[in-house]
Every structure is written in C-alpha cells, then in structure tokens.
Chains A and B, each alone.
Chain A
Amino acid sequence: MFFHISMEKNMQLHPRHFGPHLRDKLVAKLMKDVEGTCSGRHGFVVAITGVDDIGKGLIREGTGFVTFPVRYQCVVFRPFKGEILEAVVTMVNKMGFFAEAGPVQIFVSNHLIPDDMEFQTGDVPNYTTSDRSVRIQKDSEVRLKIIGTRVDATEIFCIGTIKDDFLGVINDPGAAA
C-alpha cells in the first residue's frame, strides 16, 4: 500500500557545497540519499514530493560538515499481509517462484500454487496447468496475495500465494510472443 507521509532527516553537507545553491544541493543530496531506501517502519521510499522545512545548520567540529534537519514529504510503499499485489515473476524453480512488485521481493512456494499447476523443468522452467492453458514463467505477470511479510531494518521480504480466487497469471509473455 502506498502512503504519503512527512519524514525528517538530518542531512550532512560537505563544505564545498556552501555557496549560492546550497539549498538546491541539499535537496538533490536528500533525493539521492533517500529515494529507493527501505525502512522497516515505513517501507520503501518511492519519491520525495516536496521539502517542507530546512532547519538551521550546525557546523561539526573537526570535519567542517554541516548538519541540516530537513523535513520532507514523500511517497512510501509498504506491503501488508493480506494485500493483493500484481508482480512480475523473476525466477522459477522447483520450490516455487520469486516475483517482484516494484522494490519488493515476493516468494510463492509450490504449496501455494494451485494444485493443478505442475513444475516443468527445462530451458525455461515454468509452472503449467495440465491443459497447458496457463503458464507461469520468468517475466509473467501474476496477481498474488501476500500472506506473510518479514520486515527487517533495511529490507522487506514477502511470501505470497496464488491459491485463491481471482489470483494467478494476468498476462502471459509466452502466449503473446
């Protein structure tokens, strides 16, 4: 799920940036530092939408770096248990398959794949139904439900299932090609 939240961070700026464009430099550095990171509490920071406030800088003794408290608005993405996501399959193996929904890695074990889908080994490992109408392979898009999340300080990993109503492949690259 996506959220638009306000966050704060202390930015350290090198003295060489001190000049007429200090503020721009600071914002550019903030974006570079923050976007794409993941915190266990808030999830992945997708984008910074605006800087609310830059506080007074504090010069650090010895180094000359200056610390600015910056308050900014950003869009974050955090997966939740029970959430339905659309994801792209990245790897298929005997134990199940891995998929990505943006920055989030999701593993779907073979127990959570419908029973009528069988693993087919070969050049392109895939899961296929007995009538060959549905196939999950690398780059397939699937709709899955998250049944568990492991949230570390800097990483989020999810376990998904496609063994439920309306879940499964939503487009098949093999069929299109």
Chain B
Amino acid sequence: MSLEPFNRLVRLAARAFYDDITMKGDNQPKNGRGDNRGMAVVVLDALTRRQWVREEDLAKALKLHSKQLRRTLRFFEEEKLVTRDHRRETAKGAKIFSAAVAATADGPRGKEGEEKMKLHTHSYCCLDYAQIYDVVRYRMHRMKKKLKDELDSRNMVQEYICPNCGKRYSAFDALQLVSLTDEYFHCERCNGELVAESDKLAAEEMGDGDDNAKRRRHEKLKDMLQKMEEQLKPLAQQLLRVKDLPVPDFGTLQAWEARANAANRANGDPSANDSSKSSQGHGYGGTPMPFLGDTKVEVAFSGVEVKEDTEPETKATALKVLPPWMIREGMVLTKEQRGEVKPDVMKMDQPSSSTDDKKQKIVKDDQKSIEDEYIKAYYSALMERQRAQEEVTKKMQSEAGNLSNGVSEAAGRKVGAKAKREEDEDDAEWEEPQPTGEVYKVADLNAQAQESSEDEEDGIDWEEG
C-alpha cells in the first residue's frame, strides 16, 4: 500500500481546484490581510503528510487559527475530500490519540495537557483517498461534459427562421408550425418554409452580428476546452496511474487508533505501554488488542539454499524481477524489476532450455513408454542442467563485462543471477499444461520452490519500504 501516488493526486487536485478558494464569508470585507487564498492548498498538503490528526494539533502545526482551519476543513468535508470525526473526551482520552500519532509518525511529542477530567469535544480529520479519487474524476468528467455539450450546442433549443418575412420561431412553437401537406415547418404569417437557424444559408441572410457573436463564443469554448485538457493533463495522468492501485484506507478514527497503538506495542515501544494508557479502556469502543502487530514469518533454509540466499540478498533484493501480476501501473520500478531488461542470464539459458524442449517433444510423441522415458529424461536433464549451471557461472564470471545488452550489474551479482535464471525457467515451464513438463520440473521445483516463494515475499517487502 503506497501512499505516494495518492498524495500526489491530492496535491495536484488541490492546486488545480482549490487554489483560489477563500474561506471568508461574503460579508467580511476583503482586504489584503483577510485574503487567505491558497490556504486550502496548504491544509491539504499538510494532511497528505498525516493520517488521522486532531484539528487543534493541525492548527498549531500550520500556525493557523483553529477557527479558520475548521472552516477550511468543513469546506473540504462538504467537498468530500476529508472525513472528520468528533467526540467528547477527557484530556486523558486525547492522550490515546497522541500515542497513536507517536506510533505512526514517531516524532517527538511533548506531554500534552495534564490530566484534567473535563470533557472537551475534539475533532479529528483525515483524507479520504478513495472518495478523493472519485470526486476528482467526477469533477473532471462534469467539466468536460459541460463544455462539450455547449460546444455541440447539444442542449440548445433549435430556432427557425422564415426566409421570406424574417419571423423567428423556436422549437417550442413546433406544434403550431407543422404542416399537414409536407414535411417542413411553415410560417404562420406567410406560409413560407422555415429553415433551421444554424443552417449556413439562413445565417448569412439573417442577422450577421448575432452570428458573429455565436461564432466567437464557439471559439472561446473550444479554446477553453483545449486549455482545460492541457492544464489538467498531469492530474489526469495521475488519476490513470492511481487507477489500479489499492486505495490507502485508514479506517475510522477508532479503528486507526487501535491499530496504531497495537502496532506500537508490538514493536515494543515503551511509551505505548504507559500505565496511564493501558487503563484507558473505559470510554472507548474497545481496548485495543495488545499483540496485534504484523505477523512476521521467518523461514530458515538449510544447506545450499542458505548460502545462495544470503549473499544476493544484500545486492539483488531491490532488483528482483517482480512477477507480472504484481506489477501495476504507477509502481515505481526499475526496468529490471519489470523484467523488461532481461538479465543476461536468459541468453545463456537458451541452449539448455532448447534441449529441454526437444526432449519434451519426444516424450510427448510416444506416450506409451512414458514411465521409462520419464526417469531417463529426468536424470539426463538433471545432469545436463547441473552441467549447464556450472558453465553458466563460469561464463558469467568471464564474460559478464562484454555482454551484448550491457547490463552493468551483471558482474556484481553472479550468484543472484544464477538463482534468477532457474526461476525464469520455472515460469516458462509452468505455462505449459503438458504432463511431461511437470515431471521435468521436479528437479527445478526441489531446488527452487522455497526460494521463489521467498522472492515474492521480498518483492512485497520492497514495495512497502
């Protein structure tokens, strides 16, 4: 779950749509000091750096008057960009929130107000990313549609002119104008055939100034539409990028708090285990579960795998090829991870894999003697692969420098590359639904299964980090 694309979306939208919004009521005189345009952008920006935040804290951080901030936030709530939550709580209760903030932001937070058993209503706010995405999309759609409709004069009431006497009619008069004899409208006064006003002929004959104005308006609309597309392009692109990403969701205030505190505790943060906080259960929906941190699984490998694993981990983790189903638009990935630049390994791979293919074909041909063939093929393939692997590693060491696709890292991670080569082959073979392929793969699977699963985990971890 990465926030960055969504935050960028919020920042772009803020600048595009809320740049010149003033929060003052209309009754107040607008002088230089009272002009607070751009504040909306600042507030939204600040919110992208936080999750749930108490409005007073936010006001303090932004050095704004809390009333002013509240007005802005209320505006954003109406615009459906922000979710807010209000609750009455003691100063003590507010501390739970502070703890939660500390857990996520791990910034130093001073001791908030001493224990007063007085109830205050506190308001919290948070960006609602899912809704923001929809709101921005809808807004752009409406803008575009409105302009386009105007441009096509789609919703215009048609006007008709009598070329003889110059009398104008609108489509509202259609019922009276329709004639029984032919398919045209007829003038009530002179019974001449009416022409639709937008027809060139009529426009030239009739009032010219009016037409000019219309044409100018048309130009203006077109210009506006073009400008809009141009200026909102970054926003549209960001929307597109964000489309397939999972939307970050902090949940309700309570849920978020509980989660944040729990995570904090699981990490062994001493401040979260304050006695004052552990006794806060009353007045809340429920006590947060103390050991509800992220589940962590460690898998120990034995023998060769361990050796192979530990070494590349330092260099190659960030450069693993992500499986295609994990790659989504908007992810920040290097070409290597997308698998676009095939590591040199693939090249060296070809001789061995082609022989494999050949053998598979043979096996497929005579299905009768499958069993014997399997065993033979299995062993020979195994042998061949081992040999090939040795060759590959040797070649890698010697030739890594002058490979045709010139991946500079090649020399740096020979061992990792070797591991990857086998994995790539895995993928290719999985695609084939033949029974022979599976038998073949036993060798691969034994060698590689654990590792490939570990790879996937690596990929995910990296994404989060």
Residues of chain A having any CB pair with chain B under 8 Å: 91, 93-96, 98, 105, 107, 109-112, 121, 125, 147-148, 150, 157, 159, 161, 163-164
Contact = CB atoms under 8 A, between A and B. Distances in A.
Contact of B196 (A91, A109, A148, A163): A109
A98 B171 contact: no
Contact of B184 (A93, A147, A150, A164): A93
Contacts of A147: 155-157
A107 B175 contact: yes
B183 interface: yes
Nearest to B158: A109
Chain B interface, >50% SS class? loop
Nearest to B176: A157
Interface residues of B, number: 18
B174 A107 contact: yes
A109 B174 contact: yes
Contact of B171 (A91, A93, A94, A107): A107
B155 A121 contact: no
A164 B174 contact: no
Contacts of B184: 93-95
Nearest to A94: B183
B171 A161 contact: no
A109 B160 CA distance: 11
Contacts of A121: 183
18 contacts: A91-B178, A94-B184, A95-B178, A95-B183, A95-B196, A98-B178, A107-B171, A107-B174, A111-B196, A111-B198, A121-B183, A148-B157, A148-B171, A157-B172, A159-B157, A159-B172, A161-B155, A164-B154
A105 B158 contact: no
A9 B346 CA distance: 90
A93 B183 contact: yes
Interface string B163-186: 000000001101100100001110
Contacts of A163: 152, 154
Given A109-B196, A163-B152, 11 more contacts: A95-B160, A95-B174, A98-B178, A107-B171, A111-B156, A121-B183, A147-B157, A148-B157, A157-B175, A159-B171, A161-B154
